[in-house]
Structure 1
């Protein structure tokens, strides 16, 4: 990716993070967001695992058919990047790539515990900051990231109120 394209990608990813901020985030909200992700993934026939955490507490987890325990490990590694850097795992990776580096070689973090691949996104509450992480694993990284952004956008627009599980 060229310098201008990388800069544009980073700006777009940062804009999503500034836009996708919650007013509150309860256990019921985690269920609604997770259910919306499941519904969206099923509509796309996407074999993904979904995890939502607030702090250290797992509030939602679903492994759709076609996934494995490896997807749980990817969620943990991508979520660790969000928790450490305070930004989506895709944005963190994009920032390293824009500098001509890889996260794995330049971060000095154990790749068994950290992965700057798309799919984990910070859950921020307006006026509070980051309180948790929503993560998806199973698709190529850009698609994992896009699935989370799509669901968070719909959730903030009230789309979760129409989820039936």
Structure 2
């Protein structure tokens, strides 16, 4: 598990200069490719959506699609939008305070059926704009691996695509 300071650094530095529907498609496609390369037989669900709920990109990497994936995608996205941070960061922050860090209801009066603090949800922020403009969610693997795919995908995207 990455240390809390590293998770915080990721959120502070992985900022987009812009984020368009084309950006969402290119990033989502890259995430799908990387998930398939790393886990070719595991169905991994990937979604990029706006705070309004509009989906810009969604896929499951292979069959069989897991019905629970939809719930995990929605719960992780809701958490990112409510708390403005990655889901792994939130879980680790809870654990650093002595909580189990597996249910948000440990720290706030929320319905755990609506929120999840398991890794894989990450905010999209644009330089110069306040707040979360989109949410990237990966689900289907161990929470650290879900998070890693998102972070490495964003790093790749910022380095190779948006610098063109």
**TM-score, normalized by the shorter chain, greater than 0.5:** yes
Partner Cα separation in structure 2 for residue 42 and residue 151 of structure 1? 13
Aligned to 2:4: 10
Q: Which runs of 5+ in 2 are unaligned?
A: none
Aligned to 1:108: 109
**Bigger fraction of residues in strand:** 1
Select which of 38, 58, 63 maps to 2:60: 63
CA RMSD of aligned residues (A): 1.8
**Shift in Å, 1:160:** 8.1
2:133 is paired with a residue whose SS is: strand
TM-score (norm 2): 0.89
**Bigger fraction of residues in helix:** 1
TM-score (norm 1): 0.88
2:58 is paired with a residue whose SS is: strand
2:136 is paired with a residue whose SS is: strand
Report the count of equivalent residues.
155
What do residues 35-58 of structure 1 show as CA deviations (whole Å, max 9, x unaligned)?
A: 000110111124200000122211
Q: Which runs of 5+ in 1 are unaligned?
A: 1-5
What do residues 99-133 of structure 1 show as CA deviations (whole Å, max 9, x unaligned)?
A: 01133322221010000100000000000032010
Partner Cα separation in structure 2 for residue 125 and residue 160 of structure 1? 12
